[in-house]
Amino acid sequence: MDDLTLQQPHRRRQHYNGTHPHTYAEKYKELNPEQYPETVKKVIAKGSTPAGMHLPIAVEEILSVLRIKPGENGLDCTLGYGGHTRKLLGALGYGPCGGRAADGSGHLTALDIDRQNMTRTESILRREGYPEKALSVRYLNFAEIDRAAAEFGAFDFVLADLGVSSMQIDDPSRGFSYKKEGPLDLRLDASRGITAAERLGVMTRDEIAGMLQDNADEPYAEEIAAAITTARKRGRKIETTTDLRKLVAEAVMKAVSHQEGLKKMEREELVRSSCARTFQAIRIDINQEYESLYALLEKLPEVLNAGGRTAILTFHSGEDRMVKKMFRQQYRDGLYEKIAEDAIRPSAEECRRNPRARSAKLRWAVKASE
């Protein structure tokens, strides 16, 4: 019997105090969104993303620039929750239909380095009816797209969504959000490398300040770096997201204490913004995100067929600058015959529905015809 037809054993959901779940682990509906479509619709209608789920961003814009046709060979560099993956498969003519995929043609390869979410998403996609002939999933960093091309051949289209998935942000055990108490981890691949807490434990003050400036344009980089290293010398632990958030808040509040006329709400907003940038900068550092992005951009022309299209979705200025600069250089070198003149932004309506789309920028390029 096909494993996909087996029924999952019934498990009692975790009980919680009160009428509504409060912790991430108790959110049984959002953690299994495919089982509760009506709840998911209500959450999305309110402009929120259900916990354990990720809404794909700029879908129509991506499909417009990739111009996918049935029979083509494609690559999705970041599988995530499978939102973009489903749309790419749909453009190839595949679609879920009563537990089997509607007949299409062509093939899509999807990569991810988050084993936990990758396994979960692939399992859901297989249950929806997408077979191996339509979709192959590989545990690979997108910096290794040459390995994917070696296995599946050159690609007609490549999509890279560089954003951290909502599933990762919403899970406190991953440590991606300063808003939730959890271990200060921040690794995209939890099976490799050192945690953010370990990294901060060995960095010098100048290294921390430079990281905050280079990776997030943090205006209070020096003050935050001083607060972290001073706390460390005094034996203060920096092991959780709350530990780091408090240090950042103390540093920023001290830095602006002499500024007259700043209202309480303005000070709090400065703290929130610095916390978000600090967590972003550390995440970029420990996951070597810029190094991976550079490798991806450098290898892209090599793995695309002549006339092949690529689209890259970025979420902060450092990524966008790197993509823009590399595309322009490769265009001048004759590797691309067309590139985006300006970044494409999600519509105002999409940003209203999904606030996490507000910082997104899409750039595209077409490989030169031979």
The predicted model gives 225-245 an average pLDDT of 96
The pTM (predicted TM-score) of the whole model is: 0.82
Amino acid letter, 5: T
Q: Indicate whether 27 belongs to any domain.
A: no
Which region among 62-66, 176-180, 182-186, 250-254 has the lowest average model confidence (pLDDT)? 176-180
Q: What are phi and psi of 315, to 5 degrees?
A: -135, 5
Boundary of a domain, candidates 246, 267, 286: 286
DSSP E strands, 129-223: 135-139, 155-161
CB within 8 Å of 320: residues ≥ 6 apart? 314, 343, 361, 363
Judgement on whether residues 220 and 353 belong to the same structural domain of the protein: no
Q: Indicate whether 181 belongs to any domain.
A: no
Domain that holds residue 311: 59-167+290-367
pLDDT in tens, 128-157: 889 899 999 999 999 999 999 999 999 999
pLDDT at 354 (0 to 100)? 87
Judgement on whether residues 352 and 268 belong to the same structural domain of the protein: no
Identify the CATH number of the domain in which residue 228 sits: 1.10.150
pLDDT at 2 (0 to 100)? 37
Judgement on whether residues 228 and 299 belong to the same structural domain of the protein: no
Boundary of a domain, candidates 227, 252, 286: 286
Distances (CA, A) of 272 to 19, 156, 180, 269, 341: 30, 42, 13, 5, 33
Judgement on whether residues 312 and 332 belong to the same structural domain of the protein: yes
Judgement on whether residues 159 and 223 belong to the same structural domain of the protein: no
Per the structure, the count of domains in the chain is: 2
Boundary of a domain, candidates 244, 269, 286: 286
Judgement on whether residues 295 and 148 belong to the same structural domain of the protein: yes
Structure-token pair, residue 287? 């996951």
Q: What are phi and psi of 319, to 5 degrees?
A: -65, -45
Q: Indicate whether 45 belongs to any domain.
A: no
Judgement on whether residues 323 and 275 belong to the same structural domain of the protein: no
pLDDT in tens, 27-73: 545 555 555 555 555 554 554 555 555 589 999 999 999 999 999 99
Judgement on whether residues 75 and 157 belong to the same structural domain of the protein: yes
State the average pLDDT for the chain: 87
Q: Are 101 and 131 in contact (CB under 8 A)?
A: yes
d(CA 87, CA 157): 13
pLDDT at 65 (0 to 100)? 97
Residue 191's pLDDT band (cuts 50, 70, 90): confident
